[in-house]
Amino acid sequence: MSYIVSIVGRPNVGKSTLFNRLVGRKKAIVHVTSGVTRDRIYGVTEWNGVKFSVVDTGGFTISENDHLEDEIKNQIFIAIEESDIVLFLVDIKIGILNTDIEMAQILRKKYRKIILLVINKVDNGKYMYHDTDFFCLGFNEYYYISAINGSGTGELLDKVIEVFKKNIKDSKKDRNDTEKFLPIFSVVGRPNVGKSTLINSFLNKNHHIVTNIPGTTRDSLDVIYKNFGYECILVDTPGVRKKSKIIENIEFYSSIRTIKTIEYADICLLMIDANRGWENQDMNIFRLVEKNHKGIIIIINKWDLFYKNNDSLQKDFESLIRKKIAPFNNVPILFISAKNKNGIHNIIPTAYAILKSIKNRLKTNILNKIMLPILKKNPPPSIKKKLIKIKYCTQIPSRTPKFIFFSNFPQYIKESYKRFVENKIRYHFNFKGVPIQIFFRKK
């Protein structure tokens, strides 16, 4: 499960500095001039083994009749709406301003969120005894920090993780038993490729709004599918555009929700528009799914509109995709029409087959019997007159397949050889649509 923490407050209270502190790099622009952050920026961080997303927002102001400021406020409100925890920053050196009071009222009255009041710029001990009454903002507890040097952020993050872990326990208690063990299949892809149409075709009803306007789906929507002996949760997601194409503020958060959905899914159904073909953004989404070690099916939609009954073109189309996604290229590629329901009956059974393959555990003696002769015949290239040998391999217990190959000089084995090994494993064993990881270790 993935969580989102947003950082809000008036301009120049240190939101971007805190954001950079949490994500561990200077991703947000920080400047003494207030209001530098206008577009939303997000990153991923980890504390005590728990990963979560952090969103930096623009500065909240009271000014009226300013179109740009109104847009910034809209983005702030969207960030709050999408967040699990909101960090409300104030500046101890300046004290409480009317903008802080208005922001506090909005947070308390409009949003039922977990709000942590964070008092920033406590750069030395004397500020701890500042006479500003921060309790007047209406929050029960607050945290003193210095975003610039990191003091106090550990205690703040401990509280954040404490809230997350409580929510995880509560969500486990609240989950319906019928949903407890259901696999989650997420439909992902660029806008307007037919994701919602596919969900509607599965359900035999217009469960989701479908229009010709790209980006109609704003939220990730879950539905339970039960048919033909299969049962699962289907998730419709907003389309993921290139960053340069994300113009509307809402679309930024749609992309975050899609990323969260990929992390949450068991299998991702990557939909492609047959007319547009395989584009760079499709590759980006594919690699994102692979990076999160999720099973994947590539679905070519609208094939009937453009290339129906053209078997030769279909083979060429499929071959092109497999070349681009290598070495993870033994992925099921299905050609369908979501609108006419042509070919969609193969999708759920294929997803279940991938689930089964993810659980494949190869016996060590069989793995070594197949792989060692191949690696002996094709050893890693020698470096610095060192003859590199691979002596033993095994699959380690994990949620997705991981293999360790023991070598005398693992540090000299290049990425290209790792891809070679992965190709051979995929050729000899059934891991179709399943991401696998290869590691080389010292014997």
The pLDDT tens digits for 289-299 are 888 889 999 99
Mean pLDDT of 231-244: 67
192 plus 288 within the same structural domain: yes
Lowest mean pLDDT among 85-94, 141-150, 378-387, 404-413: 378-387
Contacting residues for 88 by C-beta, under 8 A, at least 6 apart: 8, 9, 103, 104, 107, 115, 116, 117, 118, 139
> Residue 398: its pLDDT value, please?
87
Q: What CATH number should be reported for the domain holding residue 373?
A: 3.30.300.20
CA 421, distance to chain mean position in Å, is 27
- Band of the pLDDT at 113, cuts 50, 70, 90? confident
What is the pLDDT, as a whole number, of residue 212? 44
Q: What is the pLDDT of residue 142?
A: 85
Indicate the pairing of strand 402-407 with strand 390-396. antiparallel
What is the Cα–Cα distance from 256 to 261, expressed in whole angstroms? 9
Work out whether strand 50-56 and strand 4-8 pair parallel, antiparallel, or are unpaired: parallel
CATH number, domain containing residue 275:
3.40.50.300
Mean pLDDT computed over 230-253? 58
pLDDT (0 to 100) of residue 356: 92
A 10 A CB-CB count for 180 gives 8
The total of other beta-carbon atoms located within 10 Å of residue 170's CB is: 10
pLDDT score, position 42: 66
Which residue, 147, 174, 201, sits at the end of a domain?
Answer: 174
User: Based on the structure, what is the number of domains in the chain?
Assistant: 3
Q: 345 and 199 in one domain?
A: yes
Which residue type, as a one-letter code, is found at position 281? Q
Q: Looking at residues 334-346, what average pLDDT do you find? A: 92
203 and 344: one domain?
A: yes
User: Between 56 and 86, whose confidence is greater?
Assistant: 86
When comparing pLDDT for 127 and 197, which is higher?
A: 197
Reply yes or no on whether the pLDDT at 7 is more than 60.
yes
Q: Give me the pLDDT at residue 181, please.
A: 63
Q: Are residues 161 and 207 in the same domain?
A: no
Question: Are 347 and 264 in the same domain?
Answer: yes
- Structural domain including 418 reads 364-442
In the predicted model, is pLDDT for residue 220 greater than 50? no
158 and 191 fall within a common domain: no
For the ranges 84-98, 230-244, 303-317, 399-413, the lowest mean pLDDT is seen at 230-244
Same domain assignment for residues 304 and 398: no
Q: What is the pLDDT of residue 222?
A: 65
Domain end call among 142, 174, 206:
174
Residues 269 and 302 in one domain: yes
Percentage helix, strand, coil, to 5, in the chain? 40, 20, 40
Residue 239 has pLDDT above 50, yes or no: yes
Q: What is the pLDDT of residue 440?
A: 94
Q: Residue 402's pLDDT band (boundaries 50, 70, 90)?
A: very high
> Are 323 and 308 within one domain?
yes
Give the pLDDT mean for 17-34.
Answer: 62
Beta-bridged to residue 268, according to DSSP, are 186, 296
Query: pLDDT, tens digit, for every residue of 146-166?
Result: 999 999 999 999 999 999 888
Percent of the chain clearing pLDDT 70 (strictly above): 79
Tell me the pLDDT band of 205, cut-offs 50, 70 and 90. Answer: low
- Same-domain status, 368 and 352: no
Question: Residue 190 pLDDT > 80, yes or no?
Answer: yes
pLDDT above 90 covers a percentage of the chain that reads 37
- pTM of whole model > 0.85? no
pLDDT tens for each residue of 245-294: 434 443 343 456 667 778 778 999 999 999 888 988 888 889 888 888 89
Rounded CA gap, 296 and 331, in Å?
Answer: 7
Task: State residue 143's pLDDT score.
Answer: 92
Residues 239 and 304 occupy one common structural domain: yes
Average confidence (pLDDT) over 181-199: 85
| pLDDT at residue 355, rounded to an integer | 93
pLDDT band with cut points at 50, 70 and 90 for residue 377: very high
Assess contact for 100 and 82: CB atoms under 8 A.
Answer: no
pLDDT of residue 351 exceeding 90, the answer is yes
3-state secondary structure of 26: coil
Work out the pLDDT band at 375, boundaries 50, 70, 90. very high
CA distance 343 to 327: 26
By residue count, the chain amounts to: 443
Q: Final residue of a domain: which of 358, 390, 413?
A: 358
User: Tell me, what's the pLDDT at 125?
Assistant: 64
> What per-residue confidence (pLDDT) applies to 65?
62
72-76, 211-215, 226-230, 354-358: which has the minimum mean pLDDT? 211-215
Going by pLDDT thresholds of 50, 70 and 90, the confidence category of residue 2 is low
- For residue 27, the model assigns a pLDDT of 42
Please tell me whether residues 8 and 88 are part of one structural domain: yes
